Structure 1
């Protein structure tokens, strides 16, 4: 744990797993959408959609993890993930 804290304090950017791995999960979701619609998208269309998804994830990390002069991507990803789940639960009437 100490090397990570030292790296963070030194200003080294760290992408948390939930944000860094989102590209693979999003690609699987795009593939399922193609299969459900029984259509194939060109690689450029998939890349463009994935690019927008990753930009949204980055923006959420910055929004929720940017209180300091350097974005805390771990905090941003954790808070953004919590907000997304909480909003979904509220929309379903669970909370």
Structure 2
């Protein structure tokens, strides 16, 4: 029982360390965050992909739906990874 308590305390101790990536977080937000060139390129490539899929398959509803789904996915995931 005591060994289990010691193992839990040792596991928690390492989680209390300093954030090693705190210096680079703002750089990443500036590079790939809201309104950045990376975000614009991602959205532009999604739009180009939707247009090309629409032309190739003649399934415009699927192409537009895929683009809208990608936009929703990006807006949901962006705050989860800390880019907003």
TM-score w.r.t. the length of structure 2 is 0.44
1 or 2 for the larger relative contact order (CA 8 Å, sep ≥6)? 2
CA radius of gyration, larger in: 2
More helix by share: 2
TM-score for both structures, normalised by structure 1: 0.40
